[in-house]
Amino acid sequence: MELLKRKILDEGIVLSNQVLKVDSFLNHQIDPLLMQAIGKTFASLFRESAITKIITIESSGIAPAVMAGLELGVPVIFARKRKSLTLQDDLYTEKVYSFTKKEESEVSISRKLVSPVDRVLLIDDFLANGEAALAMARIVEQADATVAGIGIVIEKAFQNGALKLKEQGYRVESLARVASLENGSVEFAN
Ligand code: 5GP
């Protein structure tokens, strides 16, 4: 997606050979017009997949997921990282090892929200080693629903997440694929 790649080149900050910071449009401040274009692109990629629900993880997946949900006309669920007073029982819960925080946490979704008839599109902001996407996929499988696809805003193609997900048979669509962050600059894969 050219608009997204342009934005990454103009505003992305390479923090290390492994980590890209995009706080000006995705991870802290959000660019609504860009998110709308991202939602339309995900919708066009998955329009034929009979999606009934979108699942993402709070918080940075929510903006692109909601825009895709608006375009596809389906509800969006965000897996929650902390149990709250209003979300304690009757949950599907999975562990996720966070690439950026280097710690394990749990994500949960209410059992009421996913059922075996659902065909779920998983959306996330970044794909690194695939831990977040695999945790969401395990939740969908716990619910006996189907993972119909995985939509990623920025894939770091030099890490092995996409490979792992594809090996498990999932369709992965990434809107920008970063081949390298070496020497402080962003190189895209073809
Ligand atoms: P994975 O679970 O695929 O290893 O890592 C993906 C998750 O870690 C994403 O949900 C995202 O929050 C975070 N993440 C991984 N790599 C980066 C990165 O380079 N930049 C930012 N901002 N987040 C990242």
Instruction: Tell me the pLDDT tens digit for each residue of 155-171.
Output: 999 999 999 999 999 99
Contacts (Cβ under 8 Å, ≥6 apart) of 29: 23
Dist CA 161 CA 89 (whole Å): 31
Count of beta carbons in the 10 Å neighbourhood of residue 62: 17
- Predicted pLDDT at 100: 87
CA distances to 21, 125, 143 from 56, rounded to whole Å, are: 20, 9, 15
Ligand 1 mutation pick, 16, 125, 134, 150, max ligand atoms within 8 A of CB? 125
Ligand 1 center from residue 31 Cα (angstroms): 19
- Predicted pLDDT at 142: 97
| 131 known member of a binding site | yes
60 preceded by a cis bond (ω within 30 of 0): no
| 190 known member of a binding site | no
Dist CA 113 CA 130 (whole Å): 23
- Predicted pLDDT at 12: 98
Host domain of residue 126: 2-188
Answer yes or no: pTM beyond 0.90.
yes
CA-derived radius of gyration, the chain: 16
Cα atoms found within 13 Å of the Cα of residue 66, Cβ hemisphere only: 11
**pLDDT (tens digit per residue) in 30-41:** 999 999 999 999
**pLDDT (tens digit per residue) in 92-125:** 999 999 988 889 999 999 999 999 999 999 999 9
Closest CA to 179 of 17, 4, 2: 17
- Number of separate domains in the chain: 1
State whether the beta carbon of 36 lies less than 6 angstroms from ligand 1: no
State whether the beta carbon of 27 lies less than 6 angstroms from ligand 1: yes
Q: Which residue CA neighbors atom 8 of ligand 1 most closely?
A: 99
CA distances to 77, 79, 131 from 109, rounded to whole Å, are: 8, 5, 16
Average pLDDT of the segment spanning 129-138: 98
Please, what is the average pLDDT of the chain? 96
Strands 172-180 and 187-188: antiparallel
- Predicted pLDDT at 80: 95
**pLDDT (tens digit per residue) in 42-77:** 999 999 999 999 999 999 999 999 999 999 999 999
- Predicted pLDDT at 7: 98
The domain that contains 106 carries what CATH number? 3.40.50.2020
Angle 147-5-129 (CA atoms, 0-180°, nearest 5)?
45
State whether the beta carbon of 168 lies less than 6 angstroms from ligand 1: no
Task: Say what percent of the chain tops pLDDT 90.
Answer: 93
Say which DSSP state 84 is in.
B
Write out the two tokens for 26: 């995705």
Bridge partners (DSSP) of residue 52 are none
Write out the two tokens for 172: 């992965």
Complex ipTM over 0.90: yes
Ligand 1 center from residue 177 Cα (angstroms): 13
The dihedral over CA atoms of 64, 65, 70, 72, expressed in degrees to the nearest 10, equals 120
Say which DSSP state 81 is in.
S
Per-residue pLDDT band for 23 (boundaries 50, 70, 90) equals very high
pLDDT at 88 over 80: no
- Predicted pLDDT at 48: 98
